[in-house]
Every structure is written in C-alpha cells, then in structure tokens.
Amino acid sequence: MADEKRIQVLTGNEACAEGALAAGMRFYAGYPITPSSEVAEVLAIELPKVGGVFIQMEDEIASMGAIIGGSLAGVKSMTATSGPGFSLMQENIGFAAMAEVPCVVVNVMRGGPSTGLPTLPAQGDVMQARWGTHGDHPIIALAPFSVTETYDLTIRAFNLSEQYRTPVILLLDEIIGHVNEKVALVPAEKLRIVNRVTPSEPPEAYRPYRHTESGVPPMIPYGEGYRFHVTGLAHDETGFPTNSAAEIGRLMERHHRKIEQARDQIVEVDRFMMDDAEIGIIAYGSTARSARHAVRLARDAGKRVGLLRLKTLWPFADAEIRAHIGQIRSWIVPEMNMGQMAHEVEWALAGAAPVTRLNKVNGDPISPAEIYQIIPG
C-alpha cells in the first residue's frame, strides 16, 4: 500500500511552492529577489508540468498587476518577493483589496529599510502587511514557523483568499525560507481545497459586488459570458464608480464585515504549555522556534512559562491574548524588529499585565538563551 504522504527534505521556500501547486495555483508572476527567489525557481520548473503558467515580469509592480489579471480570468494566482519588492506591490495590493480580487502574496522578510540586509532575517514587515497600502482595508496575513507549516499555510492562504475574495499575505522570514527540514506532504487529493463561489443568476442579473449576507459576492471569470466592470475607484454593486455616500458606505462596511464576522474562523494560534503558565511568551515565525526552546529551558528550571504562537498575524489575535488575563502575570514579546507586534499586544492587554520587549534588528536571529535570560524568576 502506497504511503499517503510524500516524505521529502525541503526548504521553506520550496515547501511554499509545493503548497501553492497543491492548492491549485496555476499562474505565477514575479521578479527574483533574495531571499524568496527559490519559490520562483521551483515554480518555473513545476508549473508547466501541471498546465500552469510561469512568467518573470520586469518588476514587482508588474508582477502584482499580472496576478490580479490572472485571478480575474479565473486562475488561482500568486507572487513572491521580499521587502523592497513588497513595497513596490502596495498600490496594486490596494487595488486587489478594493476590487476584491483573490490572490496570494508571499513576502520572505529580510532586514530593511531600503535594500537593507538581503541575506539576513528580519520580521520588520508586520505593520507593512497590515497598513502598507493606503486607506482603510481589511487584510489577512499568516506567518509559518516551520517548513511543514509553510506548506500548510500556503494552502490555507489560497483557501482564505478564495473564500473571502481578498488578497492574503504569507509572511515568512529568511530563516523559515531557507531552513531545510524533513516534511510529509499531504497529496492534493487528500487536502481541503476552497474555490471561489460563482454566481447562480444569469448574466443579465449578475452584480459582481452584490451586498450578500456573507459579505462575499459571487465571482465569475472573464470570458464566460458575464460582462462586468472592475475598478479601484469606489463603486456600486455593478462595479461602476459612484460618488453616492450611501453606496460607498455600504461598500466599505461590507469589505470589513466579510473578514470581521469570520474572524474566529480565520485567526489561528498555537498554545504551547499555556494551561498552567504564569509567564507568557508571544512569538511568530522563526522567533517562535527559539521561544519554544526557551519555554522548555524555563520548565526544566521550574518556571511556569508558556508560548502563545501567532499563526495568523492579521486579523490580530487580541481575543486569544485577552483570554489569559488573570492567568498570565507578565508577557514577553521577542521579535526581529523594533516592537511592531509588541505594540499590538500592549493594546490588547490595556495594562492588565506588563509586556517586556526583546527586539533585534542587526540581522542575527533571537536565540533561546536571550529569551530565557529575561524570563522572571
């Protein structure tokens, strides 16, 4: 009997490419940039084998525009980049958010700002993932901490994107992108794959931005007999621009409602030794790997420490953090930036417990020993 899983040794970037293929992604447009280039390298070889299309664009602006077009044509689409390229994509990410175009953007974070530290890790794009494009817009951002989880969360990114008609950001960091680990890949036929809802009404009755109860309008690909308009301007249910305050208000409220009312299904955290913890660590990405080991060291020393690991960065896990008020007497937030997520943790706690920040921006990872040293006795 054949094994149901394929056992391989992969990097996080390679697992990301494999996950995208398993999710049904068949169009990739991108521009090579360290430390994400392996995603493109794998897909350049593998996509044509499954009838997909790979194209290297002239830059990241064009890459983002291309995957929006691919998605509008009915194909699951993705691009991958790092900090400087992610900055260039922001205008078109805003377009995808306003036009409700499902797509996945992978950002393998490196040190910044500007060209920064191309080959060294960072977690400095957390707030950019949330607010990089202008205006009030909802966004979903996921952060894996292992190669296996990169495979899983890449698939989940596509599922969420299709389900809620929204761009989804997958935030790796350089360590996760390049670490080699043994993984067991669940074959595509065993996976739960979500595809966008298509309209049931005839073409003449179709409204591409209908205000549905779920907040998610059905979506039909171009070329299937349904004519509709797509714009980055505020628009009514037909997709055509409007200056009606009532219509604009309904549109923007629906954009946020479709994510907010599904928040509990979207937000995922992993609790490690949290049941009896008195001191909590909140971490994500590769830093969470160091945090897990620090928890083990602390437990060996008789300290009741646990880890609340964020798998979903946006929407923020404020309710999951507040659930531990009264239990956790102090929190530690290690991250490879100047405190971007710690700020959100402090906001969520509203003074209920002190928060100690551990920040590093010199290209070195945060070690378990550095976290352990600041755990109170």
> Tell me, what CATH number does 296's domain have?
3.40.50.920
pLDDT in tens, 227-243: 999 999 999 999 999 99
Query: Residue 60 domain-assigned?
Result: yes
Say what the pTM is: 0.97
Report DSSP state, residue 235.
Answer: B
Are 142 and 283 contained in the same domain? Answer: no
CA-based max dimension of the chain: 69
Structure tokens at 186: 């669940």
* C-beta of residue 281 within 8 angstroms of C-beta of residue 334: yes
Are 275 and 131 contained in the same domain? Answer: no
Q: What percent of the chain has pLDDT over 70?
A: 99
Query: Residue 93 domain-assigned?
Result: yes
280 pLDDT above the threshold of 90: yes
Are 287 and 183 contained in the same domain? Answer: no
- 3-state secondary structure at position 78: strand
End position of a domain, from candidates 137, 159, 190: 190
Report the pLDDT value the prediction gives residue 361, as an integer from 0 to 100.
98
Kindly indicate the confidence band of residue 38, based on its pLDDT and cuts at 50, 70 and 90: very high
Cα 331 from Cα 349, distance rounded (Å): 10
Query: Residue 199 domain-assigned?
Result: no
How many other CB atoms are there within 10 angstroms of residue 125's CB atom? 24
The Cα-based distances of 101 to 76, 205, 318, 339 in angstroms read 10, 21, 27, 31
Query: Residue 112 domain-assigned?
Result: yes
pLDDT in tens, 43-83: 999 999 999 999 999 999 999 999 999 999 999 999 999 99
Length reported for the chain: 377
334 pLDDT above the threshold of 70: yes
Positive or negative, the Cα torsion across 4, 8, 12, 16? negative
Query: Residue 213 domain-assigned?
Result: no
Are 175 and 321 contained in the same domain? Answer: no
End position of a domain, from candidates 172, 190, 208: 190
Q: Which residues contact 308 (CB under 8 A, 6 or more apart)?
A: 269, 270, 271, 272, 274, 280, 281, 282, 317, 320, 321, 324
351: left (phi over 0), alpha (psi -120 to 50) or beta: left
Are 174 and 80 contained in the same domain? Answer: yes
Q: At what angle do helices 37-46 and 12-23 cross, to 10 degrees?
A: 40
Cα 93 from Cα 219, distance rounded (Å): 18
Query: Residue 102 domain-assigned?
Result: yes
Are 167 and 18 contained in the same domain? Answer: yes
Are 320 and 179 contained in the same domain? Answer: no
Are 274 and 186 contained in the same domain? Answer: no
The total number of structural domains that make up the chain: 2
Are 75 and 178 contained in the same domain? Answer: yes
pLDDT in tens, 171-197: 999 999 999 999 999 887 889 999 999
pLDDT in tens, 120-154: 999 999 999 999 999 999 999 999 999 999 999 99
End position of a domain, from candidates 168, 190, 212: 190
Q: At what angle do helices 147-164 and 12-23 cross, to 10 degrees?
A: 40
Nearest-Å Rg of the Cα atoms of the chain is 21
Report the pLDDT value the prediction gives residue 1, as an integer from 0 to 100.
36
Report the pLDDT value the prediction gives residue 2, as an integer from 0 to 100.
44
Structural domain of 313: 270-373
CATH number for 85: 3.40.50.970
Query: Residue 227 domain-assigned?
Result: no
Are 183 and 330 contained in the same domain? Answer: no
Query: Residue 265 domain-assigned?
Result: no
